[in-house]
Structure 1
Amino acid sequence: MDLISETYVDGRPGPAHPMAYPPLGGVDLADARRFTSGQPFGDYARLRRDAPVMWHPEPMGGPGFWAVTRHADVMAVDSDPATYSSQRGGILMGYGGPEARHGQLHRASLDAMINLDGATHMALRREHMPYFTPSYLRGLTDRVSAEVTRLLDDMARKGRCDLVANFSAHLPLYTLCEILGVPDADRPKFLGWMHFLEMAQNLAREQSPGDGPIDMANLPPEVQAFIDAFNANVSEMFEYGRTMLHKRRADPRPDLMSAIARAQVDGELLSDEYLDGSWLLIVFAGNDTTRNTLSGAMKLLTEFPDQKARLIADPSLLPNAANEFIRMVSPVIYMRRTATRDVELGGQMIGEGEKVIMYYGAANRDVAVFADPDRLDVGRPNADKHIAFGYGPHVCIGKRVAQIQLEEAYRQILARFPDIRWSGELDIAPNNFVHAVRQLGVEFTAEG
């Protein structure tokens, strides 16, 4: 199987066709620092209304991309991998110049199932499916419930704490490690790895987008120290993953790590490059998005106290509320595709080879689908129509695991701490790929 890292293209400069919609002033989706106050939902609303398929320039000589913001258009792109390819250009907005890349991280971010198209992609998905069946998930739910109780026991006497550090960062990590079969002693390492993975975008652009290339020879000492720590942690993460996956090949166990290690395409085991990619994908996707939704849901319940009261009064609403939390938070901000032919989308002609980027947070607040979309409604009748996990053949394979964690977390939190609220303390990382909540303060009446 060819390596995507050796065959991908970063997108053709465009647009090749006349723009059907004018570029909107003040909208900059390429600058990660503009996401530190949350996703730009006001800009999304303008885009949906005035330029739903808008040509967006890129800094540092990037070729530009089409920003897609309407629910129907995002679904059209996600459901047609023959026309909108993941494999041809990868799923990230850009992969940076060679001078700013971490070589192994760059390769692994491309050589992974999420970037594959067609039969190869489906073959690898099938290898993962036994760990997401209803019977498996029932047993996992019991373990998740016990872990939620343990974490809340640790929080109970504090009365005030950072929800991320005390809860949101730990529950998805526990769940992921349970599915993978990671030994208990090794699990704390994942927290450090996740911190550095989220900050990878900062490494690639320490200066503002218009400042030109980074002068790597004259970095401030604190930046150089961060880079050194980043490199050490990323190398440790990949070395651990590759070692464990090779162990599982030789001695398989009933866990997802063994399924990844022994997966085959056309009768051949995955190369080490694809093992690295599989490891990076499962560590990042299986942990980060759920963590940010857990934190984002607390902020929403504080901003909409009437909906919090509804949930406390009627916990049977929690499964639907979990979908509503995910819709409003939309923790994965975008996914990229590359057009394989000239194609019309939402009234705009797109040229072959041009990048197309789907904004899930924009689609999930499309008034054409969701009435009063900026309001939390735990009883929303079509909350499950959100596409925060994608749509079509690339829909997130672990979405039910995320829902289980949200349902159980808020079932216990609201029963035990009914007065819990966001304190106003909030820190969001400069990241325009995931909504990365680094800190979220909460207050509640302590037990004892």
Structure 2
Amino acid sequence: MTDPVAFPQNRTCPYRPAPGYRPLAERRPLSRITLYDGREAWAVTGYALTRRLLADPRISSDHSDPAWPVANAAAAAAQKFGEDQKKVIGRLTALVGVDDPEHRARREVAEAGFRAGLIDAVRPKLQEVVDRQLADMVAHGAPADLVSAFASPAALGSLYAALGIPREDQEYFKQKTQQLFGPAAAGAYDELVAYVAKQAGQHPADGLLGAYLAAVADRGTPADAAPAEVLQLLLIMLVSGHHTTSSSIAIGASALLQHPEQLAELRADPSLLPAAVDELSRLVAVTDGVQRVAVADIEVGGTTIAKGDGVFFVLSLINRDEEHYRQPDALDWHRPDPGDHLSYGSGPHRCLGLDLARTIMEIAFGTLLERLPGLRLAEAAAEIPVQPGESFQGLVELPVTW
């Protein structure tokens, strides 16, 4: 057995795997890693094995399992929160942090928010948000930080629009959501439950809020319990979707601006945008360390993942598996199936909001390319800081001009 590789590690290029992961790529599809506290776990880096394991009920998403792997000190600190904060965090992982049959029952309600036609119905609102945010960035002048001036607020505003939170309430909702991770967690949660109840009682709600209210009513949820159940789903979509979508926009823009030929092709033919969004999602892989725990022994090619072992799916390497992708390091949206990447997961926990995220990214990139034909990096790419290597990748800033 070769020496374990430290995990996670920092990227030096925002859209490429950490250089220290090279041994993991060479040892595909399964390798040993060492976490921040010395605990060893498994890194899955092969495409086919990832699809197999994420569909295997012996690979658990149960965050309450005592053997659940913790990737870094920040995540470990969260385990020491007060009881009120733990309860709130438990509610925020009520969909992603449980296994079937509990997961299946909750997911069926969550899927109601993504019925056919809903994303098309909110698309004009998403475009309004992106237009407004880009206008604000341009009005403040170049150079600008594309992360703070566009990607982050455009992603957040788009999610609020899709959720059905009226614009005049969004700042309040944002403040209360931020308080969920502090000492005022319990009070903030109760206020948000009351807000959902008020919205439900005043008028038919738009977006996901309205869809979820209808879904829990159809399921027979008591009226006094419905607002809390709906709020959990809204918060899961908001908390899990904001950072991943904003980082995908920012890092994706960074990649595009460093590939002038592909950028010119995309500007000349906007019909390529859907495929480009999927290819950028594959290349960027912002959710780079999806974690699970084995609840029974699993044999993988003569190696045993033992019960209680932590398992991390390293998507930056999985999405570049040479056995699945031709020229995996290239930015190429002409691949036979650009949407077959695993950036949104696989199996029963595949991201519910993937079509919404794709739509937000498509609108964001399309609007940037159309309105700012001279968009370019304002600093050398090597000088742009990348956030430290956590499970979610991101840029500290992305200086641009036009």
Question: Is the shorter-chain TM-score for this pair beyond 0.5, marking a shared fold?
Answer: yes
Rounded to whole Å, the distance in 1 between the matches of 2:243 and 2:183 is 20
Match of 2:237 in 1: 282
Q: Does 1:404 align with 2:344?
A: no
Instruction: Give the corresponding residue for 2:58.
Output: 83
The equivalences for 1:113-192 within 5 A come to 113-157=95-139, 158-188=141-171
Paired with 1:136 and 1:129, the residues of 2 have a C-alpha distance of 11
For structure 2, the residue ranges without an aligned partner over 5 or more in a row are none
The aligned counterpart of 1:96 is 76
Distance 1:312 1:289 in 2: 24
Asked whether 1:241 is paired with 2:192, we answer: yes
Structure-1 separation of matches of 2:394 and 2:191: 24
Q: Which whole-Å CA distance do the structure 1 matches of 2:79 and 2:129 have between them?
A: 43
Match of 1:291 in 2: 246
Question: Aligned partners of 2:179 and 2:12: how far apart in 1?
Answer: 17
3-state SS of 1:371 partner = coil
Q: Which residue identity lines up with residue 101 of structure 1 in the other structure?
A: F
CA, structure 1 residues 88+194, in 2 after alignment: closer, same or farther (shift >3 Å)? Answer: closer
Quote the Cα distance in structure 2 between the aligned partners of 1:79 and 1:367.
22
Per the alignment, residue 364 of structure 1 pairs with 319
Deviation at 1:129, TM superposition (A): 2.4
Matched, 1:341 2:288: no
Shift of 1:334: 1.9
Partner of 2:205: 253
Corresponding letter in the other structure for 1:148: V
Quote how far apart the aligned CAs of 1:349 are.
0.6
Structure 1 99/125 Cα, relative in aligned 2: closer, same or farther at 3 Å? Answer: closer
Pair 30,176 (structure 1): closer, same or farther in 2 beyond 3 Å: same
- Structure 1 unmatched runs, 5+: 1-20, 198-229
Q: Percent identity?
A: 26
Q: Distance in 2 between matches of 1:265 and 1:321?
A: 38
TM-aligned CA distance change 1:137 to 1:276, over 3 Å: closer
User: 1:43 maps to what in 2?
Assistant: 20
Give 1:105 deviation, angstroms. Answer: 4.0
Give the distance between the partners of 1:401 and 1:390, measured in 2 at CA.
15
Q: Deviations over 1:52-75 (max 9, x none)?
A: 3222233346x4321111111211
Q: Deviations over 1:9-63 (max 9, x none)?
A: xxxxxxxxxxxx4124xx32146xx3586464433442132253222233346x4
Residue 3 of structure 2, aligned match among 11, 17, 23: 23
What is the aligned counterpart of 1:312 among 261, 267, 273? 267
User: Per-residue displacement from partner, 1:101-149 (whole Å, max 9, x unpaired)?
Assistant: 3544444444411112223212222212233233111121122122222
Looking at structure 2, the residues matched to 248 and 28 of structure 1 have their Cα atoms a distance apart, in angstroms, of 48
Q: Is the 8 A contact 2:208 2:234 kept in 1?
A: no
Task: Name the residue aligned to 1:430.
Answer: 388
> Counterpart in 2 of 1:329?
284
Distance 1:398 1:299, change over 3 A: same
TM-score (norm: length of structure 2): 0.83
Give the letter aligned to residue 168 of structure 1.
A
How far is the alpha carbon of 1:189 from its aligned partner? 5.2
Q: What is the distance in 1 between the residues matched to 2:234 and 2:84?
A: 12
Equivalent residues, number: 386
Match of 1:64 in 2: 40
Distance 2:106 2:238 in 1: 17
What is the rounded CA distance, in whole Å, between the counterparts of 1:346 and 1:432 in structure 2? Answer: 29
Partner of 1:208: none
Residue 7 of structure 1 aligns with which residue?
A: none
Alignment check: 8 A CA contact 2:256 2:263 kept: yes
Q: Does the 8 Å CA contact 2:11/2:19 hold for their aligned counterparts?
A: no
Return the alpha-carbon distance in structure 2 between the equivalents of residues 346 and 189 of structure 1.
53
2:257 aligned residue: 302
Cα 1:432–1:274 change in 2 (3 A) is farther
Measured on the aligned residues, the alpha-carbon RMSD in Å equals 3.2
CA shift in 2, pair 1:436/1:397, >3 Å? same
Residue of structure 2 equivalent to 1:223: none
**Cα distance in structure 2, aligned partners of 1:107 and 1:60:** 25
Per-residue deviation, residues 294-345 of structure 1 (Å, max 9, x unmatched): 1011100111111101101211111100001111111212222221211112
CA distance in 2 between partners of 1:35 and 1:235 (Å):
36
Change (3 A) 1:187 1:411: same
In structure 2, relative to structure 1, the CA distance for the partners of 1:275 and 1:152 (3 Å cut) is closer
| 1:254-312 alpha-carbon deviations (Å, 9 max, x no partner) | 44235556748996566999777545422211211110111011100111111101101
Mapped to 2, the partners of 1:378 and 1:193 lie a distance apart of 40
**When the two structures are superposed, what TM-score results if normalisation uses the length of structure 1?**
0.76
